[in-house]
Amino acid sequence: MKVLVTGGAGYIGSHACKALSKTGHTPITFDNLSTGWRDAVQFGPFFEGDLTDKSSIERAFAEHRPDAVLHFAALSRVDEAMAKPELYWRNNVLGSLNLFEAAVQHDCLDLVFSSTCATFGDQDNVILDENTPQHPINAYGASKQAVERMLQDFEATHGLRNVIFRYFNVAGADPDAEVGEFHRPETHLIPIVLDTVAGERDQVTIYGTDYPTPDGTCVRDYVHVSDLVDAHLLGLQWLKDGKGSRAFNLGTGSGFSVREVIHSANRVTNREVPTAIGDRRPGDAIKLVSGSKRAEDELKWTPQKSTMPQMIEDAWRWHQVADYRK
């Protein structure tokens, strides 16, 4: 199958391209390289384009005639979304609209969409499963929720079948260290901790220690990027099997606090990361943990590598050898 991968030069998209090519598919990366890396495109053709430019996504469909789409391309930083919500509405919502219209025009009607647990907002002590009402608290979550809603209409009217995955926190790297997580600026906890271990930063600032959690720091549910992309292959198969549109949360159901993540990184890397205590980061939810069993039950998805030490070990290996980080 030829699969158009928007955001294929990014962290999760590049891992998906590798998984697609390993299973006999051809990933066609469509990316504007705003947050992705040309060097991460190693597993199939590259089309440089921007989803907010409708003509470029139309050309990509005309040139490559894909059979399905994995739609990763998006802005995904809560801090940036709080400061510049317009970027999120334009890139994530308008970009997706252009993509969906082009997909329908080219009769490419199976699409997997990357959504987020940020669509749920801050619901303390609520188990976040697929039936939880979505109340996003920042423009990132709101933009993703809007695209989820748009997909309902595109399915009903134009037959655009879709699987929606709501990611919890994605971590780790390709176990062969061919691709990995790299953002500039880096805002994510585990890469920042590893940058600090590597001496590229002086310290990790913990954003808030007065949250109502056991150790006062925010709690997240971390999933290994390899497990996450496995779910995407299952999602594509689900659509090709004609099972219809469905939303799945992708998390493990286990929560780790910021302090627990740092502690685990200290153990894996055998160093002691210097920390400082900072203010809460605007837009952060206290606790986001998946209560979902739907992906396991229906997709038969079983996370294999999503333990905290394994995620940190794989991320650390990549961090040490990655050439496009340099």
Q: Residue 65 or 280: which CB sits closer to ligand UDP?
A: 280
Position 113 contacts ligand UDP (CB under 6 A): no
173-189 burial, b at 16+ Cβ within 10 Å, e below that, comes to: bbeebbbbbbbeeeeeb
Strands 256-257 and 219-220: antiparallel
Q: Among all residues, whose Cβ is closest to ligand UDP? A: 218
Position 275 contacts ligand UDP (CB under 6 A): no
The site for ligand UDP, by CB under 6 A, has a size of 15
The 10 Å Cβ neighbour count of residue 212 is 9
Q: Residue 206 or 239: which CB sits closer to ligand UDP?
A: 206
Binds ligand UDP by CB under 6 A, chosen from 73, 81, 111, 189: 189
Binds ligand UDP by CB under 6 A, chosen from 54, 84, 158, 188: 188
DSSP labels for 113-150? EEEEGGGS---TT--B-TTSPP--SSHHHHHHHHHHHH
> Does 324 participate in catalysis according to the annotation?
no
In order of 22, 43, 89, 200, 257, the CA distances from 17 in angstroms are: 9, 6, 26, 29, 31
Binds ligand UDP by CB under 6 A, chosen from 207, 238, 248, 316: 207
Q: What are the start-end ranges of the H helices in 159-274?
A: 189-197, 225-240, 258-269
Segment lying near ligand UDP (by CB under 6 A), choices 2-10, 127-135, 200-208, 232-240: 200-208
Q: Residue 139 or 192: which CB sits closer to ligand UDP?
A: 192
Binds ligand UDP by CB under 6 A, chosen from 31, 284, 313, 314: 284
Run of H or E residues at 28:
strand 26-31
Position 218 contacts ligand UDP (CB under 6 A): yes
- 176 Cβ neighbours under 8 A, 6+ residues apart: none
Residues 3-62 that bind ligand UDP (CB under 6 A): none
Position 226 contacts ligand UDP (CB under 6 A): no
Radius of gyration of the chain measured on its C-alpha atoms: 19
Smallest gap, in angstroms, from Cβ of residue 236 to ligand UDP? 25
3 state SS of 325:
coil
Binds ligand UDP by CB under 6 A, chosen from 59, 259, 281, 317: 281
Position 225 contacts ligand UDP (CB under 6 A): no
Segment lying near ligand UDP (by CB under 6 A), choices 56-64, 91-99, 143-151, 198-206: 198-206
Position 254 contacts ligand UDP (CB under 6 A): no
CA 92 to chain centre: 13
State how far the Cα of 310 lies from the Cα of 304, in Å rounded to an integer: 10
Binds ligand UDP by CB under 6 A, chosen from 137, 206, 299, 312: 206
Q: Residue 174 or 284: which CB sits closer to ligand UDP?
A: 284
129, 292 Cβ separation under 8 angstroms: yes
Q: Which of 11, 88, 140, 211 is catalytic?
A: 140
Position 170 contacts ligand UDP (CB under 6 A): no
Place of tokens 């229906």: 298
Positions in the binding site for ligand UDP (CB under 6 A)? 78, 169, 187-189, 192, 204-207, 218, 220, 258, 281, 284
Active site residues: 140
